[in-house]
Structure 1
Amino acid sequence: MLLGLDPRLSPDLLHALASMGHGDSIALVDANYPAAAQATRLICARGFGLIDALQAVQSLLPLESASMPNAERPIHQKIQQCCKISVAPLPDSEFYSAVRGCFAIVATGAPELYGNVVLTKAAIGS
C-alpha cells in the first residue's frame, strides 16, 4: 500500500500517468463510448463516474490543456467546474480524433451521454 494516493487510482492508471510525457493525452470517457475499439491502452474504471475519475487523475497529472465534446449537457458544466484549467469544447469529429490519438483511454462507468474529456499533460520544470 502507498500513502497519499487517491484510492480511485488503480495500478494500471498510475502506470499510464507515470509513463506519459509532456504533450501526451489521456481520455476519460463515459460508459457509452466505444473505448475498447479505439484505445491503444485501455484502462477500465467502471466503478467510478467521470467526475470521480477526473478528480483522481488531476491529483497527480499537471494539465496543459483539456477538451470535451461541444454539447450542452449538464455533465459539461460539472467537468468545467471540476477541471483546474479551462476546458475547450471541440466539434465531435475533432474530439473523437483527439481521443483516438490519446496515450490511453480510461473507460468509466459514467452513464451521462457525452461525458468525455481529454487531458493533455503539461511539462514539469524548475
Structure 2
Amino acid sequence: MLKNIDPLLNADILHALCAMGHGDEVVICDANFPADSVARQTVLGRVLRLDGVSSPRAVRAVLSVMPLDTFVDHPAERMEVVGDASALPAVQREAQQEVDAAEGRALPFASIERFEFYTRAKAAYCVIATGETRGYGCFIFKKGVQLAPDVSEKN
C-alpha cells in the first residue's frame, strides 16, 4: 500500500497518469459512454476501469495526483447536454465541485458538443470508464506540470 495515494487509483491508472506528458488529455466517462471502442483509438489503446465509482469521485481521485494545465484557458471540459448546451446536470455540478477543490479556486468547465467530445476523446491519452449511471458524467482533463521547488534557493 502506498501512502497519500487515493485508494481508487489502481496500478494501471497510476501508470497511465504518470506516463502522460504536459498537454496530454485523460477522459473520465460514465457507464453510457462507448468507452471500449473509443479507448481503442487513444494513445494507450485500451480502456481503464473504475467500476462502481461515480464520475465525480473518479475526478477527485485523478486530480489528487494530476495537475491541470495552467497554460490553456480550459483544462477541464464537460460533455454538453444535447439540445441544451447551458444545462448543468447534478453529476456535472458535483464534478465541478471536485475540480474547484483540487485547484483551490473556481475553474469552470468548458463545454463540448457531444460528437465533438467523442472525436476529442479518441485523441486522448487514455479513457477511464466509471460506473456512473447518470448521463453526461463525461469529462476531459488536460495534464499540466508540477513544478519542483528550486533547490538552489535553499543553499
Q: What TM-score does the superposition give when structure 1 sets the normalisation length?
A: 0.93
Equivalent residue number for residue 59 of structure 1? 64
- Equivalent in 68, 79, 88 of residue 69 of structure 1: 79
Which runs of 5 or more residues in structure 2 are unaligned? 40-44, 70-74, 82-86, 101-106, 149-155
**Cα deviation, residue 6, structure 1:** 0.6
Which runs of 5 or more residues in structure 1 are unaligned? none
Percent identity of equivalent pairs: 33
**Cα deviation, residue 76, structure 1:** 1.6
Q: How does 1:26-105 map to 2 (within 5 A)?
A: 26-39=26-39, 40-64=45-69, 65-71=75-81, 72=87, 73-84=89-100, 85-105=107-127
**Cα deviation, residue 9, structure 1:** 0.5
Larger Rg: 1 or 2?
2
- Equivalent in 99, 120, 137 of residue 115 of structure 1: 137
> Which runs of 4 or more aligned residues in structure 1 lie more than 2 Å from their structure 2 counterparts after TM superposition?
123-126
**Cα deviation, residue 93, structure 1:** 2.1
Number of matched pairs: 126
Cα RMSD after superposing both structures? 1.2
Aligned to 2:36, the other structure's residue is in SS state helix
Q: What TM-score does the superposition give when structure 2 sets the normalisation length?
A: 0.77
More strand by share: 1
